[in-house]
Structures are given as structure tokens and as C-alpha cells.
Amino acid sequence: MTADDSFGRLDDDDYPACTMGRAAEMLGTTQGFLRAIGEARLITPLRSAGGHRRYSRYQLRIAARARELVDQGTPIEAACRIIILEDQLEEAQRINAEYRSAAESANPTAAT
């Protein structure tokens, strides 16, 4: 991959562009916080060839959600669990809406 190729990937939410230090700086937190949410399995940063953690923009948004909860007094493990459960609920609601929509399309008279 050339340098030009990697610049094009910066718009990709899943591209691991940020180092741990930069991610901590952007979130206004410590590297220890990022390690803790990694240990709680909220996010799993990719590793560079040298073994350094790299974070995507998507992972930074999740870490920011965790930081908000922790700043409000929620323990890290609980904050991570809350976010995981919120994401699972959102996904279940999305799937349920798709099933409902498909059922209504298949049988429009039953929807009334």
C-alpha cells in the first residue's frame, strides 16, 4: 500500500488510523483508560506491525461513549456493559423492524 492509498482510507470509519497516544489525547483521557475498555472487551484495537495499538474512528466514538458514562460516576466495567447492551438492543430493534416490514409487505391486509 502506498502513502496515497492510506490517505484515501482515512474516511473509512474502520481504518485504524490513530495511535493510542493520539486517541487518548483526542478523547481527553489516559492510555490506561483505553487499555481498561480494551480489557473489558468493549473495543479491540488493531495492532501495527510493531505491536502498537491503533484505533479507528468508530472505536473512538465508542470509547467517547464509555468516557461520558465514567465521567458521570459509572465504573468502567459497568459502562462497557451498558454500551454493549445498548448496541445489542439497537441491533435487535433494527432486525425486528425489518421483520415487521417484510411481514407487512408479504401480507398488507394483516397490517390494518
CB contact at 8 A, 27 and 64:
yes
Among all chains, which residue has been given the C-alpha cell 465514567?
Answer: 70
Summarize pLDDT for 6-26 with one digit per residue, the tens.
555 667 787 878 999 999 999
Q: Per-residue confidence at 109, pLDDT binned at 50, 70, 90?
A: confident
Question: CA 67, CA 29: separation in Å to the nearest integer?
Answer: 8
Alpha helices (H) in the chain, listed in sequence order: 3-8, 20-27, 31-39, 57-71, 76-106
Strand partners, 55: 18
Torsion of CA 76, 82, 88, 92, to 10 degrees: -170
pLDDT above 70 covers what percent of the chain? 88
Q: Per-residue confidence at 42, pLDDT binned at 50, 70, 90?
A: very high
